[in-house]
Structure 1
Amino acid sequence: MSNPDFDLYRVSEDHDALREAVRNVAEARIAPYAAEVDDQARYPQEAHDALVETDFFAPHVAEEYDGVGADALATCIVIEEVARVCASSSLIPAVNKLGSMPLILGGDEDLKKRYLTPLAQGHSGFSYGLSERDAGSDTASMKTRAKADGDTWVINGQKSWITNAGVSDFYTVLAVTDPDGPRGRNVSAFILEKSDAGFTFGEKERKLGIKGSPTRELLFDNVRIPGDRMIGEPGSGLQLALRTLDHTRVTIGAQAVGIAQGALDFALGYVKERKQFGKRIADFQALQFMLADMAMKVETARQMVYVAAAKSERNDADLSFYGAAAKCYASDVAMEVTTDAVQLLGGYGYTQDFPVERMMRDAKITQIYEGTNQIQRLVMARQLLAG
C-alpha cells in the first residue's frame, strides 16, 4: 500500500500524454532544423512558433494569467523532450520560466497580470539579468545601479551572459538600490521592457554550443522606468534571485537529461547498424557495458530531476539542496554521456554529419550556467552543514 509520505513524485497518465505530445512536436517541427540552427548560429524561429502554437512556450504560467498551469514536473518534461532534439530550442521554455520566476514569487497581482499574460499567450519572451562582467558567482558584488527619482527609477550599468537577449521583450533585472546598505540586502528586482529608452544590447557572443540561443549583454544608459515595475520590496532582489534559482536549476537538470537522452538514443541506433569484424558493434561486450553505464546514469539523473521538480512544486524546505544536486549531477551526466556517444561513433561522431558532436558541445554549458557546478557543490555542502 502506498504511503504518501514516501511519494516524492508520481508521473501521471497526463504527464505521459504530455511527453508524447511534446516529443511529436519536437521530432516533426524542431529536430529538422536543429543542425541548421547550430551551423548558422540563428535563433530557432521554427521551434519558437511551434512552441507557441502548442502552448509549450511558457507552460509554467498559471491559468489565471491565461496560461496552461503546468506543474513543475510537466514543465521539466517539456524542456527535456525539446532538449532531446535541440538544446537551443529548449532554452525558450526554460528561460521564460527563469525570467518570470521572480515575478511569480514576489510580484503583486497587477504586475503579474501585466507581464505574465502576454508571456503565457506567446506574445513576449522573458529573460533574466543577474550576472555581470565582474559579478558572476559573486552576485552580491554587482555594479548595476537603480536610483530613485520621484516616482521613477533610473538604471545604469550592464548585465552579461543573458540568454535570448534581444529576442525577449521582458527582462527581470537586478540592481543595487542602496549602495550604502548591507551587502546582499541592498539589491532590488525590476522588470524592464525591450522598448525602454536607453536599454540596448551588446553583440552576440560566439559560443561553443547552444548557438541558436542568442547570448548578449544588456546595457543600461539612464533607463527610466515607472516605480511600479519593482518586483517585491526594496532590498529583496537578491533573496528573490536566489529563490528563483532554487526552482529553475531543476529545469537545467531537465535540459541536461534531454541532451543526454538524445545522444544515447542516437548512439544506440548507430551501434545496432554499424558492423566491424563481421558483426554489429552492438554485439561487443565492451560497448554494451558503455551503453549500460550511459543508460544507468541518464535514468538516475532523470529521477533526481523529477524528485527535485516535485519539491519545487511543493516549495519544500530542502529544495535548495535538491535543486543544486539535480542540476549538478544531471549536467555532469550530460557531459559524460555525450562524450561517450561521440566515442561510440568513432570518427563519424567527431563530424557535423551526425548530431552527437553538437550535443557534446551543447552539454558543456549545463555545467556552467545558473551557477557553476562548483557553486552547486558549495550550496549542497552548506545545506548539509546547516543540518
Structure 2
Amino acid sequence: MAALHEWLAQNADTLDQTESLNDAVLPALAAHGCFRAGVPLALGGAPGAHNDVRDAILGIAEVARHSVTAAFVYWGQRSFIEYLLQSQNSALRDRLLPSLLDGTLAGATGLSNAMKFLSGMEPLSVHATADGDGWVLNGKLAWITNLRPQRFVAAAAVAPVDGATPLVAMFCSGDAGVQRSGNLQLIALRGSHTAAVQLENVAAPADYIIAPQAPEWLARVRPAFLGMQCGMSLGLAAAALDKAAAVAANGRGQLSESIADAQRELDALTRQLLDGVADGRFVTAAPQMFKLRIAIADVVQQAVTLELQAKGGHAYLMQEEDGFARRLRESAFIPVITPSITQLQAALAKHAAATQ
C-alpha cells in the first residue's frame, strides 16, 4: 500500500481541485486490492484483520488520511459491492463482482436518497411502473459519486407507482434512458466523478433487482453504508491530528493536551463504530449510529481546528500550509454528505418525540 499512499499524497491537491486525474483514481485503488477488503475470500476478497466490512471501513479511513477524494470513490465502489454481497440475487453478484473488484467497472451507491427515505426524511425520487417481471424506472438522482463515464452501474431505491413496497434496482450507464450530467462543479473532491442522473423509461428487468423489499433490506445494509462513510471522517481527522501533534511538539506545546484528548475521543469512537457494525446492533438501533456519525463529524472539525491553531499563520501561507487548505475543504464536506448532520439531527428529534 505504500506506493498507493505515496501516489495519493503526491496528487491529493490535484484530485481535490481538478478533474485531470478522475479517471485514474478507480484503477489506482483497484490495483492495490482496496475493493477486496472485507469481501469473502471465496468471492475474490482479500484476507484482513476482520474479514468483514470492518476491513473496508479501516481501508477507506487509511486512504482518507491522504485524500478524501480517493476515499469518496472508494466508499462509492465498495458500497455497491456491499449491496451485491447482501443481495439474494446471486446471479447479479456473480456477473458484476469480478469487474467491480478489479476496477474495470465503476459502482455507484445511488442510495443516499433511499437512506433518507428509510428514516422518514424525504420521499423516494425514482418511481417504477411494473413491466412483466421487471420495472420501468423514471426519476432523478441529484448527486451520485463514482459515475465513471466509460462504464458504471448504480443502485436506486424506487417506489412503485401502484403503491407497492419499494424495491432496490440497478441501472447501467449503457441502458437506454440513462442520462448522466456533467460532473458537478464542487468546491472540493472534484476528481470523484460526482454527477446527477436522469432516468427516463429505463428498463430494469428482474435480473436487475438487488432487493425486492427495500425497507427491510435498507435497514440491514445501512450500518455498512454509514460505517464506510464514517471511514472518510476517521481518516481525515487522524491526518489533521497527526499534523497538529507534529507541529505542536515543535513550539506550541500548550495544544498537546487538547490534541491528545481529541485523539483519544477519535480512538474511542472508532472502536464503538467497528463494534456496532460487527455485532449488528445498528440494524435495529439506528439512532445510536446516527449519534455516532454526528460525534465523529464533530471530531473532524476539532481536528482541523487544532491543526490550524498549531500552525497559526503558517496555515495561510501557500508555501507552508502543507495540505491544510485541502483538509479544510474536505472537512466542509463531512457535515453535508448525505444523510447530512442536520438531517440526522432531525431524524433523532423525530425519534425522540415518537418515543416519549
* TM-score range normalised by the length of the shorter chain: 0.7 to 0.9
What does 1:30-41 align with in structure 2 at a 5 Å threshold? 30-41=8-19
SS at match of 1:106: coil
In 2, Cα distance between equivalents of 1:43 and 1:187: 37
Pairing partner for 1:338 from 295, 304, 309 = 304
Pairing partner for 2:274 from 306, 318, 322 = 306
What does 1:82-161 align with in structure 2 at a 5 Å threshold? 82-131=63-112, 138=120, 141-161=123-143
Instruction: Say whether the 8 Å CA contact 2:57–2:231 is kept in structure 1.
Output: yes
In 1, Cα distance between equivalents of 2:307 and 2:88: 44
In 2, Cα distance between equivalents of 1:113 and 1:152: 20
Instruction: Say whether the 8 Å CA contact 1:163–1:213 is kept in structure 2.
Output: yes
How far 1:262 sits from its partner (Å)? 0.7
In 1, Cα distance between equivalents of 2:348 and 2:58: 24
Q: Which amino acid aligns with 1:171?
A: A
How far 1:76 sits from its partner (Å)? 1.5
Instruction: Say whether the 8 Å CA contact 1:342–1:357 is kept in structure 2.
Output: no
Q: Which amino acid aligns with 1:231?
A: I
In 1, Cα distance between equivalents of 2:7 and 2:110: 30
Pairing partner for 1:264 from 224, 241, 247 = 241
What does 1:1-387 align with in structure 2 at a 5 Å threshold? 22=1, 24-68=2-46, 70-131=51-112, 138=120, 141-167=123-149, 169-181=152-164, 186-233=165-212, 236-272=213-249, 280-283=250-253, 285=254, 287-312=255-280, 318=284, 320-352=286-318, 353-377=321-345, 382=351
Instruction: Say whether the 8 Å CA contact 1:29–1:46 is kept in structure 2.
Output: no
Q: Which amino acid aligns with 1:72?
A: V
Distance 1:27 1:227, change over 3 A: closer
The one-character-per-residue Cα deviations of 1:276-305 (angstroms, maximum 9, x if unpaired) are xxxx4234x2x2233233323322332223
Distance 1:242 1:122, change over 3 A: same
SS at match of 2:35: coil
Distance 1:44 1:300, change over 3 A: farther
Distance 1:34 1:44, change over 3 A: farther
SS at match of 1:212: helix
Distance 1:309 1:143, change over 3 A: closer
The one-character-per-residue Cα deviations of 1:335-375 (angstroms, maximum 9, x if unpaired) are 22112212321223235542122112212322222412244
CA RMSD of aligned residues (A): 2.9
In 2, Cα distance between equivalents of 1:347 and 1:76: 34
Instruction: Say whether the 8 Å CA contact 2:252–2:310 is kept in structure 1.
Output: no
In 1, Cα distance between equivalents of 2:251 and 2:264: 20
The one-character-per-residue Cα deviations of 1:147-180 (angstroms, maximum 9, x if unpaired) are 1223442211110111122456111112111443
How far 1:190 sits from its partner (Å)? 0.7
In 1, Cα distance between equivalents of 2:355 and 2:42: 38
Distance 1:25 1:57, change over 3 A: farther
Is the deviation greater in 371-380 or in 103-112?
371-380
| Identity, % of aligned positions | 20
In 1, Cα distance between equivalents of 2:121 and 2:196: 16
How far 1:378 sits from its partner (Å)? 5.4
In 1, Cα distance between equivalents of 2:123 and 2:60: 31
Instruction: Say whether the 8 Å CA contact 2:121–2:347 is kept in structure 1.
Output: no
Query: Any gaps of 5 or more consecutive residues in structure 1?
Result: 1-21, 273-279
Query: Any gaps of 5 or more consecutive residues in structure 2?
Result: none
In 2, Cα distance between equivalents of 1:288 and 1:348: 18
Distance 1:246 1:316, change over 3 A: closer
SS at match of 1:68: coil
SS at match of 2:86: helix
How far 1:26 sits from its partner (Å)? 4.1
Distance 1:306 1:151, change over 3 A: closer
TM-score under structure 2 length normalisation = 0.85
In 2, Cα distance between equivalents of 1:117 and 1:127: 16
